[in-house]
Amino acid sequence: MIQDKIAQIREEIINFDLQNSTQLEDFRIKFLGSKNCIKDLFSDLKNVANEDKKVLGLELNSLKILAEEKFNSFQYDQKGNKSLNKRIDVSRPSESSPVGSHHPLSLVRDEIIGIFKRIGFTISEGPEIEDDWHNFSALNFPPEHPARDMQDTFFIQKDEREMALRTHTSSVQVRVMESTPPPIRTISPGRVYRNEAISARAHCFFHQIEGLYIDKGVSFADLKQTLLHFAKEMFGSQAQIRMRPSYFPFTEPSAEVDVSCSLCNQKGCNVCKYSGWLEIMGCGMVDPNVLTACGIDAKKYSGFAFGMGVERIAQLKYRVADLRMYSENDARFLKQFQSGI
Ligand code: DAH
């Protein structure tokens, strides 16, 4: 078979030892001389079926080029010593150097920030090492209140004080309310920590975005419409939301928000566990106790707050089932987000 012969000659060219001028001459005669073996194959081409001729012809040409390039890359000086003659083809396109990509969590965080920025929300940030007041007390978690156990906390000593790694970005809403007179319309992205065993579904650190809107006359209808707008921007215009009553110490009433499953168009799939809905965040009307603790007149002002996990939204958007992927820095995973640059 001509294909086998081509493969065999290619191997021979690649493995041919070129250590001295005699070997170089042998190489030239065998592969480039007037009766070289590649030429023989060119004459065999006439016995090949017409439709195969083109491909085989190209392969034979590349074999010839391989032999010529190998021959040309070796040159011997007068004493017969080998010296490599590197020919530089200045017209050859350069090899592209590898580029990095944005992390999927950054892409999703920036998309969420963009949606809220366009409707007038500012961005605020706070520290990851928090005191009890900002992470718990001001948010209406009294000492010994069982709700503190909802979030397993990492405690640390800092400057002789007991501090916590913040368990949620709700701590930033306290800082904003303490320092800014209403109206307030802000979102707070950031990393949070919880003392949890690492698995596909839980991690000891992850990312949240908190939202806060305080003004005169802010109602639950405003909250609902804002979140519906967010869901449509994030998941497409067909997206719907539903709210289920829930409990958080810092909001009253509180709700959990589900978005319609865009993976199965609500027909039911294993991601939405055949319910057609996916939980994406917690929210509610800011509890008057929280407004008062932060120095805002609860008789004059009302507001809503919400908090969502960035990993959760990214999981839905990119269908990444395992939370650990986001912090393992496996280049094969990260490369898939290169187009998002
Ligand atoms: N802080 C809550 C958590 O970490 C999320 C949350 C729920 C934030 C309701 C809110 C809210 O602002 O109103 O699970």
Binding site membership of 193 for ligand 1 (Cβ less than 6 Å)? no
Which regions of the chain does DSSP assign to beta strands (E)? 74-76, 82-84, 122-123, 129-130, 155-158, 161-165, 184-193, 205-215, 241-248, 251-260, 277-286, 302-309
Binding site membership of 287 for ligand 1 (Cβ less than 6 Å)? no
Binding site membership of 284 for ligand 1 (Cβ less than 6 Å)? yes
Mean per-residue pLDDT for 179-191? Answer: 97
* Domains in the chain: ranges and CATH: 2-84 (no CATH), 104-340 (3.30.930.10)
Q: Taking 90 as the threshold, does the pLDDT of residue 250 lie above it?
A: yes
Binding site membership of 251 for ligand 1 (Cβ less than 6 Å)? yes
Q: Report whether 191 contacts 172 (CB < 8 A).
A: no
Q: Taking 50 as the threshold, does the pLDDT of residue 340 lie above it?
A: no
Residue 209 pairs in a beta bridge with 189, 308
Closest-lying ligand 1 atom to the alpha carbon of residue 284: 13
Q: Is residue 157 left, alpha or beta, with left meaning phi > 0 and alpha meaning psi from -120 to 50? A: beta
Binding site membership of 171 for ligand 1 (Cβ less than 6 Å)? no
Contacts of 259 (CB under 8 A, 6+ apart): 231, 235, 239, 240, 241, 277, 278, 280, 316
User: For residues 286 and 6, what is the distance between their CA atoms, to the nearest angstrom?
Assistant: 77
pTM, two decimal places: 0.73
For residue 321, the CA-to-ligand 1 centroid distance in Å is 23
Q: Which amino acid is at 177?
A: M
**What letters, b where the CB count within 10 A reaches 16 and e where it falls short, cover 186-197?**
bbbbbebbbeee
Binding site membership of 188 for ligand 1 (Cβ less than 6 Å)? no
**Poorest-pLDDT segment among 115-124, 299-308, 327-336:** 327-336
For residue 195, the CA-to-ligand 1 centroid distance in Å is 17
Q: Which residue's CA lies nearest to atom 2 of ligand 1?
A: 307
The predicted structure's pLDDT at residue 82: 58
Q: How many CB atoms lie within 10 A of CB 289?
A: 16
Closest-lying ligand 1 atom to the alpha carbon of residue 211: 12
Average pLDDT, the chain: 90
Residue by residue, what is the 3-state secondary structure of 95-133? Answer: CCCCCCCCCHHHHHHHHHHHHHHHCCCEECCCCCEECHH
User: For residues 253 and 244, what is the distance between their CA atoms, to the nearest angstrom?
Assistant: 11
Binding site membership of 210 for ligand 1 (Cβ less than 6 Å)? yes
Residue 145 CA to its chain's centroid (Å):
37
Q: Which amino acid is at 66?
A: L
| pLDDT-based confidence at residue 341 (cuts at 50, 70, 90) | very low
Binding site membership of 304 for ligand 1 (Cβ less than 6 Å)? no
Binding site membership of 170 for ligand 1 (Cβ less than 6 Å)? yes
> pLDDT of 75-114, one tens digit each?
655 455 555 555 678 888 888 887 888 999 999 999 999 9
Q: Taking 50 as the threshold, does the pLDDT of residue 229 lie above it?
A: yes
User: For residues 132 and 138, what is the distance between their CA atoms, to the nearest angstrom?
Assistant: 8
User: For residues 84 and 125, what is the distance between their CA atoms, to the nearest angstrom?
Assistant: 60
The predicted structure's pLDDT at residue 201: 87
Closest-lying ligand 1 atom to the alpha carbon of residue 308: 5
Q: How many CB atoms lie within 10 A of CB 206?
A: 19
Mean per-residue pLDDT for 259-273? Answer: 88
Binding site membership of 190 for ligand 1 (Cβ less than 6 Å)? no
For residue 124, the CA-to-ligand 1 centroid distance in Å is 16
The predicted structure's pLDDT at residue 159: 84
Is the N-terminal amide bond of 253 cis, ω within 30° of 0? yes
Contacts of 182 (CB under 8 A, 6+ apart): 214, 215, 216, 296, 301, 303
Binding site membership of 283 for ligand 1 (Cβ less than 6 Å)? yes
